[in-house]
Structure 1
Amino acid sequence: MTVGRTDVHFESAGVTLRGWLYSPPDAGTPSPAVVLCTGFAGTQDTPSIVAAAEAFARAGIAALSFDYRSFSRSDGEPRQLVSIEGQRADITAALRFLKGRDDIDADRIALWGTSLGGGHVVTVAADEPRVAAVVSQIPFNGFPRRVEGRPASANRRLLWAMTRDALRARLGRPPLYIPAVGGAGELAVMASSEASQTIRGLQSETWQNRTAPRALFEMMRYKPGAVAGRVRMPLLVCVGGRDKESPEASASELGEKAPLGRVLRYDVAHFDFYEPEVREKVLGDQVRFLDSVLLTAERTP
């Protein structure tokens, strides 16, 4: 089945965001839709995001992917800077964009997010009661106290990089960038042998392995689980049993606190979710979940 893809753009607090709208092969109008939210320093043209969008579109659900402010083809300065509040505002703007389209059913729009985006979709949904469903994949729910395999010396180097970059921000100077993903012991936001091996799965025309570490201070105060109990729509949380970046117990909390939450566990690590074999299995479960919420009622006489 051929999935259509159209370039789109919309505004978020005066910043132009650019995305792709994937249309179902035989879409009726108005159709249900899902907004796809990338992970830390992620871009919409990485293979896992494209695969998810195409899978949902083939299932009859229009999919909107987009790049957050300061990333990829979207506007915003400084570049490669993760902003928790800014990205949440961007997701809300994406919802508003879809709700304003004649070919989308405003009452059947879901949110899907992975890693940091998996935390974002929970916090946005807590304040957006018209969201029909939420899929949160290996969600960020606060930094773990200790990342297995990451030496204390690496944590000290990262903290020093964060501090230097935060001081540069106060002085109005450009970021002092570090890699977003690196090998075990390297200076990077996510540093492990698994992360390093998975960089190839993040490659795209626009993805850059660099980020402004000043953002991590804001992330240290970010705990999506604190508002998960206010998520009133169906919520599916997909977690990894061997996840070191978003540990299973912490990530599962989002689904356990939500009144209509459900947790699916997979015996894999964090970055395995972006590998084709695991991704296919997980997306199959996610498609069935969204089908049950967004499409099954439509087919019922």
Structure 2
Amino acid sequence: MATDGHTDFTRSETSFTSGGVRCAATVFRPTTADVAPLPAIVMAHGFGTPRAMRLYAYAERFVAAGFIVCVFDYRYFGDSDGEPRQLLDIPKQLADWRSAVDFTRTLDRVDEKRIVGWGTSFAGGHVLTLAGNGLEFAAVIAQVPHVDGIAAVRAVGLQHVLRVGPSAISDGIRALLRRPPLYIDSVGLPGTRAVMVSPDAITGRDRLLRESGLRDGDYPETVAARILLKIWRYSPGRTVAAIGCPTLVQIMSEDAVTPAAVAQRAAEKIRNATIRFYPGGHFDPYVDPLFSTVVADQLDFLDENVR
């Protein structure tokens, strides 16, 4: 198969184990006669979203540029195993990231010293956290990253916190009692009971589904509400000053989910940061017309820092 007339590639479905749980992964490989080791990119999606939601579009651009790409789903989400479903556990997701990187290093022809961490939204925070805590990436790409839990809570406002608070508390109690989760929508419009709320949330999600060839109901669009009791404490920006590898941070000017000013302040603490700003909201980078510009900047960054 091929994309946009570029280098042919193969795509295979596989998996790795993290914490005893099978995590689904898709591996893209260039088909070339060259046997030299290749750089690799490890990718995962944001808050409660499976890898099938437009990440393959990025992966196809990267493999056409000569990278091996591993795109994975966290345990409890997408095509991965684990119960209960739709449980967002931050330490376990970070462990899944480490397992995915270790797995990618074992793939044939991967140059284990040239592994790139690529994350978007919540996963953008994950790759920053991992790089800031010693995981040896050759480079990091953090697209619209979550960097400050308290800032994220402030962005949605007190009324929204009060709206979703009872669900969070109820599910926290259910967790203590080892009962099935109480779920809440991952995205919604302002005034609704959902985690990420913005005027463009529903239209953004629908475009992601449509552009990915998915339909409503292909994947659950909920998350266990207990994460709302913890998300305010998760601030990847606290450790970004320790990041030593080249890092691209891509920020949307009208981002209502991960505020631009907060992301910029965090990015400026990174010693070797490239910061790019774009007009639009949190869901715009994944689809055209902005997608082509965003991924072109990622490819330029990779060409300069990883080749």
User: Which interval holds the TM-score relative to the shorter structure?
Assistant: over 0.9
- Number of equivalent positions: 292
Work out whether residues 34 and 62 of structure 1, in 8 Å CA contact, stay in contact via their aligned partners in 2: yes
Deviation at residue 152 of structure 1 after TM alignment: 4.1
Q: Residue type matched to 1:294 in 2?
A: V
Q: Deviations over 1:182-219 (max 9, x none)?
A: 12211100122200111213323743211111012221
**Secondary structure, counterpart of 1:165 in structure 2:** helix
Is 2:188 the partner of 1:176? Answer: no
Match of 2:3 in 1: none
Q: Which runs of 5+ in 2 are unaligned?
A: 1-5
Match of 1:189 in 2: 195
Match of 2:270 in 1: 258
Work out whether residues 129 and 233 of structure 1, in 8 Å CA contact, stay in contact via their aligned partners in 2: no
Match of 2:104 in 1: 98
Match of 1:67 in 2: 73
Work out whether residues 239 and 266 of structure 1, in 8 Å CA contact, stay in contact via their aligned partners in 2: yes
* Distance across 1 between alignment mates of 2:265 and 2:59: 26
* Distance across 2 between alignment mates of 1:276 and 1:4: 25
Normalised to the residue count of structure 2, the TM-score between the two structures is 0.91
Q: How does 1:153-172 map to 2 (within 5 A)?
A: 153-172=159-178
User: Which segment is superposed worse, 24-33 or 164-173?
Assistant: 24-33
Match of 2:223 in 1: 211
* Distance across 2 between alignment mates of 1:110 and 1:254: 20
Match of 1:44 in 2: 51
* Distance across 1 between alignment mates of 2:135 and 2:178: 38
Match of 1:35 in 2: 42
* Distance across 1 between alignment mates of 2:20 and 2:238: 29
Deviation at residue 129 of structure 1 after TM alignment: 4.7
User: Which segment is superposed worse, 33-42 or 214-223?
Assistant: 214-223
User: Which segment is superposed worse, 61-70 or 127-136?
Assistant: 127-136
* Distance across 2 between alignment mates of 1:279 and 1:28: 31
Q: Residue type matched to 1:37 in 2?
A: A
Normalised to the residue count of structure 1, the TM-score between the two structures is 0.92
User: Which segment is superposed worse, 231-240 or 19-28?
Assistant: 19-28
**Secondary structure, counterpart of 1:130 in structure 2:** coil
Match of 1:117 among 119, 123, 128: 123
**Secondary structure, counterpart of 2:268 in structure 1:** helix
Q: Residue type matched to 1:68 in 2?
A: Y
* Distance across 1 between alignment mates of 2:287 and 2:117: 22
Q: Deviations over 1:106-136 (max 9, x none)?
A: 0111000000000000111123453100000
Q: Which runs of 5+ in 1 are unaligned?
A: 296-301
In structure 2, relative to structure 1, the CA distance for the partners of 1:170 and 1:23 (3 Å cut) is: same
Q: Calculate percent identity across the aligned residue pairs.
A: 36
